[in-house]
Amino acid sequence: MDTAGSPPFVHFSAPNRSLGPKGRRGCLAAIGGTTLVVAFGASLLGAWPVMPFAGLEVALLWFAFRTLQRHDADFERLEIGATGEVRLEARDASRETSFVAQRGWARVVLRERGHRCTLGLAYAGRTVPLGRMLSDDGRRELAATLRPWLKVAAD
């Protein structure tokens, strides 16, 4: 059902997180605690060189979880309005992108490299990435869906 005021086409994607911030802290505590306890036990038995490596392992795990946390609020929203305006809003970590184009002049850019592909939206000499959170097949499907909406063939 089409409601008045809603855009005719909307694509929204966000990262799928199976472990929230509280769960990540618990996981880090469990893995880090276990690693440090085992390393401490090994150092009591005379294998003291294990401790620095255990500390490094826990620090790298913390860094990986911290990087994931920076991307928790990432999203991508493409909207093609009834007035012919194409609007893309995206967030990647702390970088936000806003892109506005006219429907008749915007074009889909799909670049294939073997089985891999990249998708972008081009307008007025500027191309912004699109479908970063999708698989290669998802990007191809989105490109095929967008082409009729924009009525422009891809490069």
pLDDT of residue 153: 37
Contact between 120 and 83 (Cβ < 8 Å):
no
Identity of the amino acid at 68 = L
Long-range contacts of 139-146 (CB under 8 A, 24+ apart): 139/110, 140/110, 142/11, 143/108, 143/110, 143/119, 145/11, 146/11, 146/78, 146/108
Domain ranges of the chain: 9-14+73-150, 21-70
pLDDT of residue 83: 83
Q: What are the tens digits of pLDDT across the range 60-98? A: 999 999 998 999 899 999 999 888 899 999 999 889 989
Average pLDDT, the chain: 89
Query: What distance in Å separates the CA atoms of residue 109 and residue 129, rounded to the nearest whole number?
Result: 9
Q: What are the tens digits of pLDDT across the range 33-54? A: 999 999 999 999 999 999 999 9
Query: What distance in Å separates the CA atoms of residue 146 and residue 138, rounded to the nearest whole number?
Result: 12
Which candidate, 58, 101, 108, places its Cα nearest to that of 80? 101
Whether the per-residue pLDDT at 6 is higher than 70: the answer is: no
Q: Give 21's pLDDT tier (boundaries 50, 70, 90).
A: confident
State the average pLDDT over residues 96-122.
92
Query: What distance in Å separates the CA atoms of residue 116 and residue 98, rounded to the nearest whole number?
Result: 26
Whether the per-residue pLDDT at 4 is higher than 80: the answer is: no
